[in-house]
Amino acid sequence: MGIPGIAADDFAGRALAELVNGVLDDAGLLVVDRAMRVLWALGSLPAPPLGGAGDADELSVEELCRIVLAGEPVDPVTMVGPQGKDHTVIVRPLRDGSGEIVAALAFSRGEPLPAGEDPAVRYLANHDPLTGLYNRHAFVEAVGRQVAQASRYGCEGALLLVSLDDFAEVERQLGEESADAILFGVAEQLRERLRRTDILARLEGGEFAVLLPTGSRVEGEAVATALLDAVRTTPCARASLTASVGLVVLHDSPELTGEYVLHAADFAMYRAKSAGGDRFAIYKPPSVDPDH
Q: What is the rounded average pLDDT of the residues 136-150?
A: 87
Whose CA is closest to 102, among 45, 39, 12, 183? 39
Q: Residue 82: which pLDDT band, with cuts at 50, 70 and 90?
A: low
Within this chain, do residues 141 and 113 fall inside the same structural domain, yes or no?
A: no
- The confidence score (pLDDT) of residue 75 equals 81
pTM higher than 0.85, yes or no? Answer: no
Residues 148 and 210 occupy one common structural domain: yes
Q: Are residues 276 and 142 in the same domain?
A: yes
Q: Looking at the structure, tell me whether residues 115 and 181 fall in a common domain.
A: no
Q: Which domain holds residue 161?
A: 136-282
Lowest mean pLDDT, pick from 3-7, 25-29, 135-139, 195-199: 3-7
Q: How confident is the model at residue 112 (pLDDT cuts 50, 70, 90)?
A: low
- pLDDT value at position 115? 58
146, 119: one domain: no
Is 211 or 255 the better-scoring residue by pLDDT?
Answer: 211
**Domain identity same for 94 and 47:** yes
Domains in the chain: how many in total? Answer: 2
Q: Which of 99, 124, 149 is the last residue of a domain?
A: 124
Looking at the structure, tell me whether residues 47 and 174 fall in a common domain: no
User: Based on C-alpha coordinates, what's the Rg of the chain?
Assistant: 21
With residue 16 as reference, give the H or E element that holds it: helix 10-21
Please indicate whether residue 51 or residue 276 has the higher confidence score (pLDDT). 276
Predicted confidence band at 11 (pLDDT cuts at 50, 70, 90)? very low
User: What 3-state class would DSSP assign to 4?
Assistant: coil
- Residue 252 in any domain: the answer is yes
**CA proximity to 97, closest of 217, 179, 185:** 179
The reply to whether 181 and 116 lie within a common domain is: no
The pLDDT assigned to 15 comes to: 42
Per DSSP, the three-state class of 90 is: strand
For the segment 167-185, the average pLDDT, to the nearest whole number, is 86
Among candidate residues 63, 96, 124, the one where a domain is terminated: 124
Asked whether residue 164 falls in the same domain as residue 273, the answer is yes
**Is residue 142 in a domain?**
yes
How much of the chain exceeds pLDDT 90, in percent?
30
Please compute the mean of the pLDDT values over residues 67-76 and round it to a whole number. 87
250/217 Cα distance (integer angstroms): 9
Residue 145 located in a structural domain = yes
The pLDDT of residue 57 is above 70: no
* Dihedral sign computed on CA atoms, order 207, 211, 215, 217: positive
Whether residues 154 and 187 fall in one domain: yes
Is pLDDT of 47 > 60? no
Task: Kindly report the CATH number assigned to the domain that includes residue 46.
Answer: 3.30.450
Q: Which of 69, 104, 124 is the last residue of a domain?
A: 124
User: Over 60: is that where the pLDDT of 217 sits?
Assistant: yes
Residue 149: its pLDDT value, please? 79
Residue 147: which CATH number?
A: 3.30.70.270
> Which tens digit of pLDDT belongs to each residue from 219-247?
999 999 999 999 999 988 776 899 999 99
Please tell me the chain's helix, strand, coil percentages from 3-state DSSP, rounded to the nearest 5: 35, 25, 40
Q: Per residue in 251-290, pLDDT tens?
A: 777 667 767 899 999 999 999 999 999 999 999 877 655 5
Q: Are residues 91 and 173 in the same domain?
A: no
Q: Which residue has the higher pLDDT, 67 or 111?
A: 67
In the prediction, which pLDDT does 49 show? 40
Same-domain pairing of 113 and 149 = no
